[in-house]
Chains A and B, each alone.
Chain A
Amino acid sequence: MKPSVWTLVFGAWLIAAIATLGALFMSDIMGFAPCVLCWYQRIFMFPLVFVLAAGLFPFDPRVMRYALPLASVGLLVAGFHLLLVAGVIPESLTPCRQGILCSTVQVEWLSFVTIPLLSFFAFLVINALLIVAYLKTPP
């Protein structure tokens, strides 16, 4: 059985909610200071939890249109951040000069999972789910 459009949007919401709580856990409980780029990613991730939830009850097929601008720009910021950590883009081109440098790796699980990677992956899956849901919806 193919997943319904509702299930796809619900999946996107679930990932956004996990990413939001995870980000809050790392900054407020574990005490990692978010760098400037992390704040931009948060700006695009946190509203998704509410926008997607509002679109689920009652289901509004236009929720993809409202969520995709947030999700896609978030993906761009996360991708930029990932390239920065990888050293592809030099730090001097970034907006972060004070506080935590965005190229600082604060967490590395299993020797490759960093916070920007988690963010990028979350945005990537949310975008994929929303695009599939959008394409599956009859015009």
Chain B
Amino acid sequence: MKQKNIFIAASMLLIAAFALGTFFYKNQQTQQAEKLAVQNQAALVRADSPSFGNPDAPVHIVEFFDPACGTCREFYPLVKNLMAAHPGKIRLTMRYAPFHPGSDQVVKVMEAAHKQGKFQPTLEALFASQAVWVQNHTAQLDLIWSPLASLGLDMERIKSDMNSPEIARTIEQDLADAKTMNVTMTPEYFVNGRPLPSFGFEQLKALVDEALVNTNTK
């Protein structure tokens, strides 16, 4: 009987220690991420990054995304709905984080389309056809052209622009900024410079709601 009690007490103690350790470690990580974000605001927003919504909106979401990422595709309409629910209040800036193999070529096409003012339709067409051009987690550049055909893009210009040093620099800058902000997975969101405490749409919505309340009371 005594032995059983010792065993149960030890088990519970170990599990409690694990849970407490997890709680404190995660807390500390979140604080560090917030500090990092505050210190590196400049890395979060670059002037020419594609951006939707009211440019003077009080709530600014910055998303690091990969067009080949399935979760980015699923989150995109959710964020769009969130913006529609608060018209004029939310601005969304998209930053490239092409982590999938082959994605670096696809984001070059997106940036070239951005130069033609067609970033958003290109993004939506790529997300809608993701199953076609992403195979085995690898982006296939030659399969993206037919989904983009109906958008009215100047394809000749896209194909010459996408290899320009200017676009290469933009992508490099975004990747460098992702590294600075410790973005290792996509999508990663920052709401008015604050990272999500943990990943999930509810967490994103909570941060946005909090930011909306803060701006309403000001």
Q: Does B4 count as interface, using CB distance less than 8 angstroms?
A: yes
- The chain B residue with its CB closest to the CB of A18 is B14
| Distance A59 CA – B6 CA, assembled complex (angstroms) | 14
A25-B14 contact, Cβ under 8 Å, with A10-B7, A53-B7: no
- The chain B residue with its CB closest to the CB of A30 is B25
Cross-chain contact of B25 among A10, A14, A17, A29 (Cβ < 8 A): A29
Q: Does A89 count as interface, using CB distance less than 8 angstroms?
A: no
- The chain A residue with its CB closest to the CB of B23 is A29
Q: Are B22 and A56 in contact (CB under 8 A)?
A: no
| Distance A10 CA – B4 CA, assembled complex (angstroms) | 11
Contacts of A56 in B (CB 8 A): 3, 7
Q: Are B21 and A25 in contact (CB under 8 A)?
A: yes
- The CB with the most chain A CB atoms within 10 A, among B6, B17, B18, B22, is that of B18
A29-B22 contact, Cβ under 8 Å, with A10-B6, A56-B7: yes
Q: How far is the CB of A98 from chain B (nearest CB, A)?
A: 15
Chain B contact patch, size range: 10 to 19
A25-B3 contact, Cβ under 8 Å, with A17-B11, A18-B14: no
| Distance A14 CA – B10 CA, assembled complex (angstroms) | 8
Q: Does B46 count as interface, using CB distance less than 8 angstroms?
A: no
| Distance A57 CA – B15 CA, assembled complex (angstroms) | 20
A17-B14 contact, Cβ under 8 Å, with A29-B21, A29-B22, A29-B25: yes
- The chain A residue with its CB closest to the CB of B21 is A25
Cross-chain contact of A25 among B4, B10, B11, B22 (Cβ < 8 A): B22
Name A's interface SS.
Answer: helix
Cross-chain contact of A21 among B3, B7, B18 (Cβ < 8 A): B18
Q: Are B3 and A10 in contact (CB under 8 A)?
A: yes
- The chain A residue with its CB closest to the CB of B22 is A29
Considering only residues 43-66 of chain A, those with a C-beta below 8 Å from chain B are: 53, 56-57, 59
Contacts of B21 in A (CB 8 A): 25, 29
Q: Does A121 count as interface, using CB distance less than 8 angstroms?
A: no
Q: Does B179 count as interface, using CB distance less than 8 angstroms?
A: no
Q: Does A80 count as interface, using CB distance less than 8 angstroms?
A: no
- The CB with the most chain B CB atoms within 10 A, among A6, A13, A29, A30, is that of A29
| Distance A4 CA – B101 CA, assembled complex (angstroms) | 59
Contacts of A29 in B (CB 8 A): 21-22, 25-26
Considering only residues 1-40 of chain A, those with a C-beta below 8 Å from chain B are: 6, 10, 13-14, 17-18, 21, 24-25, 29-30
Contacts of A53 in B (CB 8 A): 7
Contacts of B18 in A (CB 8 A): 21, 24-25
Contacts of B10 in A (CB 8 A): 10, 14, 17
Q: How far is the CB of A99 from chain B (nearest CB, A)?
A: 15
Q: How far is the CB of B101 from chain A (nearest CB, A)?
A: 15
5 smallest CB-CB distances across A and B, nearest first, come from A21-B18, A29-B22, A17-B14, A29-B25, A21-B14
Known: A24-B18, A29-B21, A29-B26; 11 extra A-B contacts, CB below 8 A, are A6-B3, A10-B3, A10-B7, A10-B10, A18-B14, A21-B15, A21-B17, A25-B21, A25-B22, A25-B25, A56-B3
Q: List 11 A-B contacts (CB under 8 A).
A: A10-B3, A10-B10, A14-B10, A17-B10, A21-B18, A25-B22, A29-B21, A30-B25, A56-B3, A57-B4, A57-B7
